[in-house]
Structure 1
Amino acid sequence: TVSVTLVCVGHVLFLVGLCQGGCRDAGLCCKGRDPSCISKGWRSDRSYGTCYCDQACVSTLDCCHDYETACPAVSCVVSEWTQWSGCAQPCRATVRRRSRTILQEPVNAGKPCPHLEEQAGCAEYWTEKGHCHNSLVPALITTSGYGNARKKRNLPESNDVIGYCVQFQLTSLTKECQQSVGPHTRWMQYLREGHHVCVECQPPALAAGQKHCTGDGDKNYDNSEDRQSLQWQAVGNPRCRGVWRRVERLESCSCPTAHSFLFI
């Protein structure tokens, strides 16, 4: 009786082994999350029953036992970066771009593709006809908290010398801004591409004999659809710099403290 029982048990295990099923037997390898992409057999958690052959099973831990071999993961492959393009326009602080293409799309939960385009600030100081007439000196900025302690210069006694604010949208910045950890440079970590910032021009920072701060742009662009792009640089970390697009001039700043700065 014992020998017969052992033979029966062995026979049952043999049949189960033949009926393992899985992704290969079902001929399934599905993209994304697909509830209909199912088979029956041993699962990766060593239980037996319904199992899946879609990409989502890797995170839900209900893949068929042979998913990784029947549906091998293929990571995204991209080309090398192209050369940087020239500046978009001469005599204006603007951006340059480079890109790369997808050579292999990711398959079966393979590593996704990285970003395919990068941009960086740049400026061309001459044209085919010669040098630019306008200055492209970048705006120097610091945190708005500095405004409470900055020393006043000798200003002419005139009622028309007043401050103002300019709103910009950050279009590019260097990675060194996020690496500023010192007590006087930590404010640079709040800078993010796409965010709007307010930069105040206080009387002490007015350009000599002028009614505007160096690097604040041209007020003629306030009502133009072609917003002016300008370079900026953070005081305290010269490697933290970038390009922003002028939005408008305001009488007073209305941005949150973390996004409020000063012209120097």
Structure 2
Amino acid sequence: MGGTALSGALWLGLLWAGSGAGGSCQGKCCQGRDAACVGEGWREGGGYGTCYCDEGCRRAGDCCHDHGQACPAVPCVVGEWSHWSGCAEQCHPGLRVRRRYVQQEPKNGGEPCPALEEKAGCLEYLTYQGQDCGHEHVPAFITTSEYAKERKRRAASSLWPSDKEAPGYCVEFRTEWLSQRCALERRPYARWMQYLRQGHTVCVACQPPAMSAATRRCSGDGHNARGDKILHWEAIGNSQCQGTWKKIRQLEHCSCPLVHSFIFT
């Protein structure tokens, strides 16, 4: 008799929980970890007792049985990246920025928001008054080839009305040495530096506006340098990522993999 009564009580308890009563989260979904957002009933993972309907209950493992249905997780939603800004300072190596904004905040333990800002190295060769500058930079300054797309989008300076007039060229180098700071770089805008490796062949494109209007060359491209001459370079965005290379050849177009393709800046 005692066993039958206990089984009946358990069955009634399950029926009570299944009916949505006793610790239900219907109409009660709280943000963060809220001790007041509490009920008494069956928990989501089993067990009867105190349960919660706040966002922290999943981490704590004490959600009420209907939390998943009554308070579905809503992930963060962000918009598209803005266009890249110009360089922070003209004629000197610096940083550019792009941003995106939250369109929907996460709810009920949903996926958190990703980074909302990215930075990348850049170097502009025009003053705000439109004067050419910066081509005396030594050593060569380089950045990821992805920056070339942004330059085309923003349109070259008045010195270069169209890409057809100055298509540019590419130089192949063999890296001789590079600092350890390149491989240790973890910042999102500078991860491309991790692909620089000693002994590897890299392709570096010379395009407007890094190309001098007078010489039609990029500073540090090794023009007229013999193959055994050691040339120096530095990565835009991290002055501690630098090294040396030797020029292999100049081509109209290079065919290095994307991760080993860079541009003079």
Give TM class, smaller chain.
0.5 to 0.7
Looking at structure 2, the residues matched to 178 and 55 of structure 1 have their Cα atoms a distance apart, in angstroms, of: 38
Aligned counterparts, 1:79-90, within 5 A: 79-90=79-90
Aligned counterparts, 1:149-168, within 5 A: none
- 2:151 equivalent to 1:115: no
Looking at structure 1, the residues matched to 187 and 6 of structure 2 have their Cα atoms a distance apart, in angstroms, of: 73
The alignment of Structure 1 onto Structure 2 pairs a total of residues equal to 176
Match for residue 133 of structure 2?
A: 132
Match for residue 39 of structure 1?
A: 39
- 2:193 equivalent to 1:177: yes
Deviation of 1:73 (Å): 0.5
2:179 to 125, 128, 143: 143
Structure 1, unpaired ranges of 5+: 145-169, 186-212, 217-228, 244-264
8 Å Cα contact 1:176-1:239 kept in structure 2: no
Aligned partner of residue 131 in structure 1, secondary structure: coil
Match for residue 63 of structure 1?
A: 63
Alignment-mate amino acid for residue 79 of structure 1: G
Deviation of 1:36 (Å): 2.6
* Structure 1 residues 9-66: Cα deviation after superposition (integer angstroms, max 9, x where no partner): 55763465235423435x3212222223211111122111111112222122111111
Change beyond 3 A, Cα 1:28–1:89:
same
Aligned partner of residue 114 in structure 1, secondary structure: coil
Change beyond 3 A, Cα 1:83–1:178:
same
Aligned partner of residue 51 in structure 2, secondary structure: strand
Range moving further from structure 2, 119-128 or 229-238: 229-238
Aligned partner of residue 65 in structure 1, secondary structure: coil
Range moving further from structure 2, 108-117 or 33-42: 33-42
8 Å Cα contact 2:96-2:119 kept in structure 1: yes
Looking at structure 2, the residues matched to 214 and 179 of structure 1 have their Cα atoms a distance apart, in angstroms, of: 17
RMSD of equivalent CA atoms = 4.2
Tell me the TM-score normalized by structure 1. 0.53
Deviation of 1:240 (Å): 8.5
* Structure 1 residues 171-203: Cα deviation after superposition (integer angstroms, max 9, x where no partner): 9852133356x6779xxxxxxxxxxxxxxxxxx
Tell me the TM-score normalized by structure 2. 0.52
Change beyond 3 A, Cα 1:215–1:10:
closer
- 2:15 equivalent to 1:17: yes
Match for residue 102 of structure 2?
A: 102
Deviation of 1:89 (Å): 2.1
Aligned partner of residue 130 in structure 1, secondary structure: coil
Structure 2, unpaired ranges of 5+: 143-176, 181-185, 201-230, 246-258
* Structure 1 residues 177-230: Cα deviation after superposition (integer angstroms, max 9, x where no partner): 3356x6779xxxxxxxxxxxxxxxxxxxxxxxxxxx9789xxxxxxxxxxxx96
Match for residue 29 of structure 2?
A: 29
Change beyond 3 A, Cα 1:34–1:178:
farther
Deviation of 1:119 (Å): 0.8
Looking at structure 1, the residues matched to 241 and 4 of structure 2 have their Cα atoms a distance apart, in angstroms, of: 82
Match for residue 54 of structure 1?
A: 54
Deviation of 1:72 (Å): 0.7
8 Å Cα contact 1:173-1:240 kept in structure 2: no
